A and B are shown apart, each in its own frame.
Chain A
């Protein structure tokens, strides 16, 4: 039997999007620390500005170092293209702004990153875009919340902070039946744990700040274009299917077919809103992506050990991680995430808010900060930090109790992580 032959995941994590620099032989991806690029001629310049020819003009629109990262993530996700942005939030905004107009509506999971919730619940309404939030565990809820003006279904592959597992296949079926694209934030998974496009997702956003970069050193985001959604058939996306005066009446689907979304996102949203990634950050993030498979394997392995330790600890009230049998999505996680459902978990400390605080104050190896996906183990108490702007009611619907502690399991020796958390747990009970 003949089989298609592609470079495998680990190889692409190191090589996709790059060949050694032809003029210098540089093996590493050079940092093209430049704002702009010399044109060959007036005709060349005109062609670039008119999307007739490809190449770089100005680093807000594209940059050779950033382009390597974009192509690499597109390759790892199995998409047709990617656009890197200044942050994960900028990626989400770029996806929304490329597709939606004032008066449009989003149906989103209610268990999403606090910043994304605030963007959709408070900020986007100022620009005429409203959102209905639903329980990500029930695909029917997405279906019921769809309105005439709905243009996007949004959820996280693994939710925040209860690690709700999205049934991507089922929710994408709901979206597609309504002629809508499904956009998933796959920050917690990275392409190593799942390729959402294979399960029907149309757009993927990442906060590259997290596991993709993996070292807690650079903020960045990515929008990945799956290239499978039929914008023309849907008829709901004039930004892609109708002439755009900004570029001599180009119609992105007509000219770019499957890559319409990524081309419009760059030509309009990245260019006009300007939330581009810097070449230096792209370089840092690329170093992370090179070892993504190694790191993610260890992240999920360490997580299994932390879960086991917590499971046997007297001071732990409950554990939320899909790999734990008590998690409501345990079976779904086994199907979608055979390698492990990520390295972020939460648990309740016996004794509620006060015990939670004591726990945080008594960790010494783990760092108390507002991030996830660092090589180092991180802990946080969301109720008093990431989700503090939310009302008690919103907190509760987002599934955040006051005793909840979130852990992002790092790459230290698992025994050291476990003993640190265990000691702090004991201290929390005194």
Chain B
């Protein structure tokens, strides 16, 4: 789907189900740093056929959305609010990594725009390894390799993908390599400099779901705990054993089902 938001072109995947003439609730899936809508390929189409209008969005300057990239989590959250205004209703938000911070911030500070929030691969803070930041700023392919290497659990480094024939690590790396020049560096900086996660968590009033990989090396499981402890609204925490940071790719079936259950309640 292509549409215009604040005079800029926005692209997203809708599971090939048009929004026109439909009134189901809208779920917006927000990708992480240097990625795009396609990380949600195992969820978008499913949700689009299970009672939602699903939009796996390309954030500005990612995938096929027009730039420039937004440089902070707060700006990205504001962009999600504009998206909610564009559709004229509140959204279910699903976010991964940087996208999880964006969903969290939107849910905390723009309550009217959000009906529920689901966070995958999230931590109360997301410091970025200086050498990763450096490689990303230099558009060095090493940045994609580092994220791929850290992003998957030991088990999933070897794959055995439920989607026959696809390599999890190969897919992650190719996706990050495809990011436009400079974008990954901007995203990582936005993650590293965001210090509002606990503040946002305190504000949250909508139901919240955490989907967390036990072997997440990018946002280690223990860094999610302060967030979980801070949230006072209705919350569910799903811990996924042998799973890394790329939760929706590593455990696609479980993620699909948990999202559906959470958002249908």
Q: Which residues of A contact B (CB under 8 A)?
A: 1-2, 4-7, 12, 15-19, 46-47, 50-56, 62-64, 66-68, 70-71, 74-75, 78-84, 226-228, 230, 232, 243, 247-251, 254-259, 262-263, 266
A15, B158: Cβ atoms under 8 Å?
yes
Q: A250-B16, A255-B16 are in contact. Are A19 and B155 (CB under 8 A)?
A: yes
Partner among B45, B132, B142 whose Cβ is within 8 Å of the Cβ of A51: B45
* B163: A residues at CB distance < 8 A: 54
CB-contacts of B148-182 with A (<8 A): 148-150, 155, 157-167, 169-171, 173-175, 177-178
A16, B171: Cβ atoms under 8 Å?
no
Is B95's CB within 8 Å of the partner chain A?
no
Partner among B42, B64, B132, B169 whose Cβ is within 8 Å of the Cβ of A2: B132
> Which of A52, A75, A248 has the most chain B CB within a 10 Å cutoff?
A52
B16, A243: Cβ atoms under 8 Å?
yes
B169, A54: Cβ atoms under 8 Å?
no
* B39: A residues at CB distance < 8 A: 257
A50, B174: Cβ atoms under 8 Å?
no
A6, B169: Cβ atoms under 8 Å?
yes
> Which of B173, B174, B175 has the most chain A CB within a 10 Å cutoff?
B174
A71, B171: Cβ atoms under 8 Å?
no
Residues of B within 8 Å of A, CB-based: how many? 51
CA distance A250 to B41 in the complex (A): 11
CA distance A424 to B155 in the complex (A): 52
Q: A17-B159, A262-B165 are in contact. Are A52 and B16 (CB under 8 A)?
A: no
> Which of A12, A46, A255 has the most chain B CB within a 10 Å cutoff?
A255
CA distance A82 to B178 in the complex (A): 19
A53, B167: Cβ atoms under 8 Å?
no
* A51: B residues at CB distance < 8 A: 45
Nearest to B171 among chain A residues (CB) is: A80
A52, B46: Cβ atoms under 8 Å?
yes
Q: A80-B166, A258-B38 are in contact. Are A71 and B161 (CB under 8 A)?
A: yes
CB-contacts of B16-39 with A (<8 A): 16-17, 36-39
Closest Cβ–Cβ distance, residue B18 to chain A (whole Å) = 9
Identify the 7 closest CB pairs spanning chains A and B, nearest first: A257-B38, A227-B174, A62-B164, A4-B149, A4-B145, A54-B163, A70-B165
CA distance A4 to B162 in the complex (A): 25
B170, A75: Cβ atoms under 8 Å?
yes
* B36: A residues at CB distance < 8 A: 257
* A228: B residues at CB distance < 8 A: 174, 177-178
* A249: B residues at CB distance < 8 A: 16
B131, A1: Cβ atoms under 8 Å?
yes
Is B99's CB within 8 Å of the partner chain A?
no
Nearest to B46 among chain A residues (CB) is: A52
Is B49's CB within 8 Å of the partner chain A?
yes
A67, B164: Cβ atoms under 8 Å?
yes
Q: Can you list, as one digit per residue, whether each of B28-62 has a CB less than 8 Å from chain A (1) or not (0)? A: 00000000111101101110111000000000000
Nearest to A19 among chain B residues (CB) is: B160
Is B146's CB within 8 Å of the partner chain A?
yes
Is B262's CB within 8 Å of the partner chain A?
no
Nearest to A51 among chain B residues (CB) is: B45
Closest Cβ–Cβ distance, residue B265 to chain A (whole Å) = 18
CA distance A1 to B134 in the complex (A): 12
Is B63's CB within 8 Å of the partner chain A?
yes
Is B244's CB within 8 Å of the partner chain A?
no
Closest Cβ–Cβ distance, residue A371 to chain B (whole Å) = 26
Q: Can you show 23 pairs from A to B with CB atoms below 8 A apart?
A: A1-B131, A6-B169, A19-B158, A19-B160, A51-B45, A52-B15, A53-B42, A54-B161, A62-B164, A62-B165, A67-B161, A71-B160, A74-B165, A75-B170, A80-B167, A80-B174, A81-B165, A81-B167, A83-B165, A249-B16, A255-B38, A257-B63, A258-B178
A258, B165: Cβ atoms under 8 Å?
no
B170, A55: Cβ atoms under 8 Å?
no
Nearest to A226 among chain B residues (CB) is: B174
* A66: B residues at CB distance < 8 A: 164
CA distance A256 to B158 in the complex (A): 21
B44, A71: Cβ atoms under 8 Å?
no
Nearest to B149 among chain A residues (CB) is: A4
* B46: A residues at CB distance < 8 A: 47, 52-53
Nearest to B147 among chain A residues (CB) is: A4
* B80: A residues at CB distance < 8 A: none
B158, A18: Cβ atoms under 8 Å?
yes
B165, A75: Cβ atoms under 8 Å?
no
* A1: B residues at CB distance < 8 A: 131
Partner among A6, A46, A74, A248 whose Cβ is within 8 Å of the Cβ of B166: A74
CA distance A259 to B169 in the complex (A): 12
Q: A6-B149, A71-B166 are in contact. Are A258 and B175 (CB under 8 A)?
A: yes
Q: A228-B174, A228-B178, A266-B165 are in contact. Are A6 and B157 (CB under 8 A)?
A: yes
Nearest to B64 among chain A residues (CB) is: A232
Partner among B15, B41, B160, B174 whose Cβ is within 8 Å of the Cβ of A17: B160
Partner among B145, B157, B162, B171 whose Cβ is within 8 Å of the Cβ of A81: B171
A54, B164: Cβ atoms under 8 Å?
yes
Is B253's CB within 8 Å of the partner chain A?
yes
B164, A56: Cβ atoms under 8 Å?
yes
Nearest to A79 among chain B residues (CB) is: B170
Q: Can you add 17 more A-B contacts, CB < 8 Å, to A52-B46, A83-B165, A248-B16? A: A5-B149, A46-B49, A47-B46, A52-B50, A53-B46, A54-B162, A54-B163, A68-B160, A75-B159, A80-B167, A81-B165, A227-B175, A228-B174, A254-B37, A255-B45, A257-B178, A262-B165
Nearest to A228 among chain B residues (CB) is: B174
Nearest to A70 among chain B residues (CB) is: B165
CA distance A74 to B164 in the complex (A): 11
Closest Cβ–Cβ distance, residue B65 to chain A (whole Å) = 12
Q: A52-B49, A81-B166 are in contact. Are A256 and B41 (CB under 8 A)?
A: yes
